[in-house]
Chains A and B, each alone.
Chain A
Amino acid sequence: MIRISDRAFDPGAELTAFEQNAANAGAIVSFLGRVRGKAGEADVSSLYLEHYAGVTEAMIAECERDVFARWNVDDVLIIHRIGNLNPGEPIVFVCVSAAHRREAFEAADFLMDYLKTKATFWKKEVRDDGEEWIEPRDEDYKDAARWREDE
């Protein structure tokens, strides 16, 4: 399931709900990404996130289908915030359930690389030294490239 929303969410409550729906899975991996309060030396006062409504969801749904084709996973949950966020607030939460842990770990890792480098979100940091639209770090592109080499 994919949920893109401008409303805050509670990762613990989402994990509980996901867990209850995935009654037969032995392994559940989750990833929570939150707004950091620092960008280098500067203080971050807020983050603004936008997406391409409809298109972003459709592209993530395609990535989700790739995950089901590639790994033996039972269920996937992707929650992504848009709008204005404060430091410490959850931005993204990914849960994957599977019979065994290796598949759950890999699929969650893969989904995060997709969300960081390919999903059509744009994020602006509002800092005490100005505003800046963020681009993926070199490390993010390297992480994402791991999955290509695998194939």
Chain B
Amino acid sequence: MDGTSQVRALITPERIDVAALIETVGSTADGALTVFIGRVRDTNEGRRVTGLTYEAYEEMAQSVLEEIIEETERAYEVGHIAAVHRTGQLELGEIAVAVAVAAPHRAAAYEASRSVIEEIKVRLPIWKFESYADGVAEWQRQ
């Protein structure tokens, strides 16, 4: 709410820098800050994952992510929200998505964070293609 215009929504093939994301939302008016980080797991429904690629409809994903952030900032008593989603090929353990929320109080920081990630899972036009140790590779449904 301080008029600065840092990047708050980002779809990127670059590695996600959580410390930089936290900086984006920082303000001494907001005592509570939550960060959600989604990383590439080594298993999915019992199958060993060996590799993962995210494909995005990039232009739309960018604007949908901005919408999600703006809607959530309006719906909760929060300061700033920033979110970033990775695209391309990821290694096990790498960060696929990160959401940072700063708020005056912790309840709103948790609730808004959860809301952003749920909306991302429902609306963001991004698709996960997973390869497994058993040789199969598939597009994932949420």
Partners in one complex: no
Q: Report B's interface with A, CB cutoff 8 A.
A: none
A residues sitting closer than 8 Å to B (CB atoms) are none
